[in-house]
Amino acid sequence: MAANILDIRKNFPVLNQQVNDEQLVYLDNAATAQRPTAVTDSLVHFYQTDNANVHRGVHTLAERATEDYENARVKVQHFINAAESAEVIFTKGTTDGLNLVASTYGEQVIQAGDEIVISIMEHHSNLIPWQQLAIKKHATLKYIGLTADGELDMADAADKITDKTKIVAIAHASNVLGTLNPLADLAKLAHQHGAIIVGDGAQAVPHHPVDVQALDVDFYAFSGHKMMGPTGIGALYGKRALLEQMPPYQFGGEMIDFVHQQDSTWAQLPYKFEAGTQNIAGAVGLGSAVDYLSDIGMANVAAHEQAIVDYLLPKLVADPDLAVYGPHDPAKHTGVIAFNVKGIHPHDIATALDMEGVAVRAGHHCAQPLMTYLGLVATARASFYLYNTKQDADRLLVALAETKEFFNHGAVKAE
């Protein structure tokens, strides 16, 4: 992949611009990825040639739109290796998918005194639905802690997951610590106690090969916009047996079989969970993103990002003015790197880096319990993707050095 990285970058016109008179280095991929022309072209093509509602018409455009929509579902199925396309439900994104599970399966099974287990590193999207479900049902919400180097503490997981546990919900990869969690081991542990496991794949599916059958997860949610697809589209995988026993998430058109005056029956999977007119173009764009990533190969994407981490992380860790969170071993760290600079607020870091054309994130990253656990208010975060290069990493290092010099010089001058 290193040989054709320049060709890959040509597919992303947004990268070819200057910000504050500097060439843009986009390192906010954990928040949202950029889109290749193949994805944006697919959206234009759909709207200009095939635009119609799906599953409802017999005219040519309706049939083409339906075929486009269902082909996208099959592409997602193969991308994550679901057993069948009916196990793939289109959603608005990871948050929507996790709320669907909490509001349907969770409402069904959780009773007073039951336990729901998550980790302290969870994004709010995989925390608040379970927190609120626990409050409503008078259940107990338990948190798995971390090891000293920021990995999930599997010994603590073994203690926290008990025969009272009904749901385990864990991020496959952290959006702050850069850890890739052993989801298959957690699934085995959950199943030993009769619990189901829900995987938050928002930070994993765009960057690593994912096989939901090998992981043996019961549900798995992810977003299109983090894997170069459109915003407002994502997918929820669920095992057929569980999806069939769950009630609908929303009611209305498309999700019904037959409507009587006093009751109704529901459509078969996956349509039972896709009420109303869906984001059809978004699904088409997501399918195009899947094609793009599949052509490159997810193993190649992961290897490319790992090479950048291998290069950059030791340099950041070695800087005495930086605190780097998560594992310091590059082999255990994804392309999401959260850090702070001594004496400089994370928002000031991000603003200063932006003046050098380097886009990073600053804040609590929708992980406030984790920040509290670490004794922090916020961090800066650089996150890499397949179109980033070692030169981008060097630009970050230079911009950080200039930022430290600016603030240190200002402090000396103020004295």
Q: Which residues are catalytic?
A: 366
Beta strand pairing call for 358-359 and 25-26: parallel
One-letter amino acid for residue 63 of the chain = E
Match 């679901």 to its residue by tokens. Answer: 82
Joined together, the tokens standing for residue 387 give: 């179109």
CA distance 117 to 315: 36
- State residue 399 phi and psi, 5-degree precision: -65, -35
Look up residue 265 and give its DSSP letter: E
Q: What angle do CA 357, 362, 367 make, to 5 degrees?
A: 150
Closest C-alpha to 333, from 358, 305, 360: 305
CA distance 8 to 148: 38
Sheet holding 336-341, edge to edge: 322-325, 336-341, 379-383, 361-363
* Cα–Cα distance list, 306 to 72, 297, 331, 334, 340 (Å): 29, 14, 8, 7, 22
H/E/C letters for each residue in 192-231?
A: HCCCEEEEECCCCCCCCCCCHHHHCCCEEEEECHHHCCCC
Count, in order, helices (H) and strands (E) of the chain.
15, 17
CA distance 130 to 166: 11
H/E/C letters for each residue in 268-300?
A: CCCHHHCCCCCCHHHHHHHHHHHHHHHHHCHHH
Helix axis angle for 60-80 and 280-296, nearest 10°, is 40
Q: What is the CA radius of gyration of the chain?
A: 22
